[in-house]
Amino acid sequence: MKAHSPTRWRFKRPSVIPGFGMALGLTLTWLTLLILIPLSGLAWRSSELGWDKFSQIAFDPRTLSALRISFGAAFVAACVNAVFGVVLAWVLVRYRFAGKRIIDAMVDLPFALPTAVAGIALTTLYAPNGWIGQFLTPLGIRIAFTPVGIVVALVFVGLPFVVRTVQPVMEEIDKEVEEAAATLGANRFQTIFRVLLPALAPAVLTGFALAFARGVGEYGSVIFIAGNLPFKSEIAPLLIVIKLEEYNYAAATGIAAVMLIISFIMLLVINLIQSWSRRRYGNGI
């Protein structure tokens, strides 16, 4: 996207594939059909509300608390995934062991599984009488039916994003780079934080952004494990569904529009950080 030199902004770069005009036209048409038209429908519907009603819905305490829970849980889950996704990718790229292919394939499962199934399975595990829950409950730790449960579900559905974005970049980093760092006197800690991670940073951020975005919009897996108590564990997508159940389409699209605006700003910021880190540390690919 913005990988090349930032100072010289060129509209057209020479390419082996000719037909820039057609490619750009196709891109724009496709994006318009798939993304812009549905989203403008959303904006149009919420504009029916008028500013007063819109702000009333957007700043309603229940909406605010639902948004806080959705974005907060998605952020925490994306952070967890960023850390453990990198570790997982590292193991998959750098080591050979029995069953590696199976583990590699397993990483993709959360993509393929209907999220409601994931939600039911996780709830079964973490409910107070579940396999895991029965050991945690006596310790006073409650996961199912609390915001912690939401994070658990979002970690599950978001895991592949980080692994799959980081993995190819990691494969490109030669082992010699680490050896060179070592011969130049870097200890392991320095090698990790000054050589490896900077090269990985843009990819990790991309994975983080994808996992985060997925978590914000996630519905199926969360409603089973969340408990859905207003002001405690009610997520914004559920609130949208509730408004729809009341046949209140305008309010539903209003909340959806607020979510979109926040998401867009956050993703834009992440993208900017990403392009900055790419300039700072190089592409890594």
Partner 1 sequence: MPSIRMTRFLAAAVFASSVAIGATAPVFADQTLLNVSYDPTRELYKDFNAAFAAKWEKDTGETVTIQTSHGGSGAQARSVIDGLDADVVTLALEGDIDAIASKTGKIPADWKSRFPNNSAPYTSTIVFLVRKGNPKGIKDWGDLTKDDVQVITPNPKTSGGARWNFLAAWAWAKQANGGDETKAQDFVTKLLQHVPVLDTGARGATTTFVQRGLGDVLLAWENEAYLSLEELGPDQFEIVTPTLSIRADPPIAVVDGNVDQKGTRKLAEAYLNYLYSDEGQKIAAKHFYRPSRPEVADKADIDRFQKLKLATIDDFGGWKAAQPKFFGDGGVFDQIYKPAQ
Residue 184 DSSP one-character state: T
Per CB under 8 A, 102 contacts partner 1: no
Give the contacts of 54 (CB within 8 A, at least 6 positions apart): 46, 254, 257
Per CB under 8 A, 224 contacts partner 1: yes
Task: State how far the Cα of 106 lies from the Cα of 98, in Å rounded to an integer.
Answer: 14
| 231 touches 62 (CB < 8 A) | yes
The DSSP-derived string for 110-130 is: HHHS-HHHHHHHHHHHHSTTS
Which pair of structure tokens corresponds to residue 4? 């090349």
Binding mask 243-262 for partner 1 (x = CB under 8 A): xxxxxx--x-----------
Per CB under 8 A, 123 contacts partner 1: yes
How far from each other are the two terminal CA atoms of the chain, in whole angstroms?
14
Residue 75 vs 145, nearer CB to partner 1? 145
The DSSP-derived string for 13-68 is: ---SS--HHHHHHHHHHHHIIIIIHHHHHHHHHHHTTHHHHHHHHHT-HHHHHHHH
Give me the least distance between CB of 123 and partner 1, in Å please.
7
Per CB under 8 A, 69 contacts partner 1: no
Residue 191 vs 243, nearer CB to partner 1? 243
| 200 touches 86 (CB < 8 A) | yes
Give me the least distance between CB of 168 and partner 1, in Å please.
5
Q: Which stretch binds partner 1 (CB under 8 A): 83-91, 127-135, 174-182, 188-196?
A: 127-135
Q: Which stretch binds partner 1 (CB under 8 A): 4-12, 30-38, 83-91, 106-114?
A: 106-114
Residue 216 vs 223, nearer CB to partner 1? 223
Per CB under 8 A, 229 contacts partner 1: yes
- What residue ranges bind partner 1 (CB under 8 A)? 1, 3, 61-62, 65, 108, 111-112, 114, 123-124, 127-130, 144-145, 160, 164-165, 167-169, 202-203, 206, 223-224, 227-231, 238, 241-248, 251, 283, 285
